Chains A and B, each alone.
Chain A
């Protein structure tokens, strides 16, 4: 159903997605797994035609997403990272608009809206303005938008963000249900989520696919699925062995501690300086201080890397996040 060939996206010298290829078939749920800033959202944006690839091609049901854009997009339902909703519309109007854009008319349109609202549990808020909805409801309306017109391919970028545990379970059930007769791709950095709903896992790190396999193959016959997946995630993304994984986790804990300590120190200073010389001065001080500490930190990290000779997962995620920030 989806065929992705040598997909590459570069922003000047920064390569966000590097030579990604895979195919996705009907009746399966594919999980995009990777640390923050690995290129998951960029890849999804390219699959849906929101972003044009620098190189490579995407075909949906045999239609090229750039050449036969309208035909290809007819088969896609997409939920981006931030649900794309007009704040001044109600969920009902929103779905009406999307349905019309997908060429639904009359009774067909309203039946579809009702069905989709029922699936996502948004009937209660159908006539409230989207800007007044809670984050969870916005997310659910976003999913409803993606499901309008019953597309064969459903692409969800972190679909359960902002939902409460019961809603998460509902949405996961819904995704599993959809996976039976659709092609579903969902991205997440929550390992349990991937383990719970996906048949296939595609792991991405620094814009490259590092592993693509069925969930069962990836986990073998491990008893604790989550732990096994976590191991695989850390191993693949960081290209290191168990010891490395443990080390990376240790380091993450240390890093957190350090950051917390710094935050505590900073907030202490904040009160002092603010009371003394006013907020404007503090702002300056704060920025300077942050730069210093970051430099200091990355220096430390680099020296450690030289010693250990491996690239820890968390460093890569940090770097690509920085790049992602610059891009915008």
Chain B
């Protein structure tokens, strides 16, 4: 893993993509911090929250080449013939990207000190609050990196990978808004659940190529959801909204900025990272087996 990590870190830092990402993120964060500070507001944590979405919009630029380039230059054949596992490859690349993400975050850590020295009463800056928010910002960045990294493992084109990642970031950002507008009636939640059951059946069919098994899996899930609906329909009340809400990765940072050190959010980000690292490994493995 360390060999891949070292190579990737070097490649990211000495290529344009890494530099562009760092400069863009710093520019956005700097702009928001300056605006908040000079408008007489020492609450840097809200500047970080406001900047989080925009500064992370450049992550697709950072991640687009991660796996597409390997496939284009056929270097994936080298990686697969070296005595390292696919998990090593993916983790090495992920940690290298996370290290690049740490650079703007580290510079951001200086801002509270600057703000504290500027404000007449240094005590106005709540360091604990700000650094907790910055930690959340970093974890959010890593989660988005993991998601975008998976998209780069799906395609051979850097452009397609970047566009898909950008679309994913936008959808995730607006997810909490979607959550608030979807209808909360149990019947509609049930319909969507059955649709998801059918989709799962289809995915099963794609993986095992067995018609009977996929119908059985999809059918059983659909029947189970109908049974639950008949027995206790209150479970479906607002279910759709809740599910979409869970998927909005940009939301927990607000909790931090409002002064709550939310451990569930940290666990949540770490789970998102693990899930997408796992999916990336699976997508690479699948390519070898197809």
A-side residues, CB < 8 A to B, are: 11, 45, 48-52, 69-71, 73-74, 76, 78, 80, 82, 84-89, 93, 97-98, 100-103, 145
Contacts and interface: CB of A to CB of B under 8 A. Distances in A.
A48 B288 CA distance: 12
B74 A52 contact: no
A48 B3 contact: no
Size range of the chain B interface in the assembly: 20 to 34
Interface string B30-73: 00000000000000000000000000000000000000000001
Interface of B: 2-4, 6-7, 10-11, 14-15, 73-78, 80-85, 288-290
A86 B75 contact: yes
A52 B289 CA distance: 5
B82 A98 contact: yes
Given A70-B83, A70-B85, A73-B83, A84 B7 contact: no
Contacts of A86: 7, 11, 73, 75
Contacts of B6: 97, 100
Q: Give 6 nearest A-B pairs by CB, closest first.
A: A84-B78, A100-B3, A101-B3, A78-B81, A73-B83, A50-B80
A74 B83 contact: yes
Contacts of A84: 73-78
A45 B2 CA distance: 25
A88 B10 CA distance: 10
B75 A101 contact: no
A101 B84 contact: yes
Contact of A78 (B73, B77, B290): B77
A100 to B, nearest CB: 4
Contacts of B3: 97, 100-101
A87 B70 CA distance: 11
Contacts, number: 71
A101 B77 contact: no
Contacts of A51: 288
B82 A101 contact: yes
Given A97-B3, A97-B7, A100-B2, A50 B81 contact: yes
A87 B75 CA distance: 10
B83 A102 contact: yes
A85 B80 contact: no
Contact of B80 (A48, A97, A103, A145): A48
A71 B78 CA distance: 16
B63 to A, nearest CB: 17
A50 B288 contact: yes
A102 B83 CA distance: 6
A102 B74 contact: no
Nearest to B86: A69
Nearest to B82: A101
Contact of A73 (B73, B74, B81, B289): B81
Given A78-B78, A84-B73, 14 more contacts: A48-B80, A49-B80, A49-B81, A69-B83, A74-B83, A76-B81, A80-B81, A85-B73, A86-B11, A86-B75, A88-B15, A89-B11, A97-B6, A98-B82
A133 to B, nearest CB: 14
B81 A102 contact: no
8 contacts: A73-B82, A84-B73, A86-B7, A93-B10, A97-B3, A98-B82, A101-B3, A101-B82
Contacts of B81: 48-50, 73, 76, 78, 80
Contacts of B76: 50, 84
Contacts of B15: 88
B108 to A, nearest CB: 29
